[in-house]
Chain A
């Protein structure tokens, strides 16, 4: 039931865009995105509920496609501060536990 993230790693130059995908083999109720900088705790970015919603956080936005059982995180005009590992988490129902993917390591270089 662990969601699958792709790519595993991506390297960008400052100002470039990136997309991180999160796919589930089972039905999704919600998708949660977190960012973890090296040696630090994960920090909540956003949550998407079923219904094809798209939400944003500064220059980071995400979409949720319930039919395809997947979510994508869009990082626009990346900044050095965006570097870190991005995790998606899934819930199958509102009361179920959150299950995390293995993460996507994003590196933004000057």
Chain B
């Protein structure tokens, strides 16, 4: 198993541009999460999903959108990038048998200029 994979690893965006951060897991986990981590700070939950077709907002959802059409994929969409969205984005997943343990992807570093 590859685990949780994220693409791209690093991206520079101009203000107002849009992009999609990809997240895929091959462990058949039903729970998936998107976090952002600002420099020197903890993780803030953006959106999460308990299964295909079901998503819900986390602590900091403004400026982001998600979809979950399959169990494997949970893309995060930024519509109008702002400097405040400069951060490292982590995707994570949990299995149905152990939803308390989250397995994180390697992260996407995003810089908005």
Contacts and interface: CB of A to CB of B under 8 A. Distances in A.
Contacts, number: 39
B101 A47 contact: yes
Contacts of A99: 45, 59
A45 B104 CA distance: 12
10 contacts: A40-B106, A42-B43, A44-B102, A89-B43, A97-B58, A97-B59, A98-B45, A98-B102, A100-B44, A102-B41
A64 interface: no
Interface residues of B, number: 18
B42 A41 contact: no
Interface of B, helix, strand, loop or mixed by DSSP: loop
Contacts of A84: none
Given A41-B90, A42-B90, A87 B43 contact: yes
A41 B104 contact: yes
Interface size class of A (residues with CB under 8 A): 10 to 19
Interface string B46-64: 0010000000001100000
Contact of A87 (B42, B59, B101, B106): B42
B104 A42 contact: yes
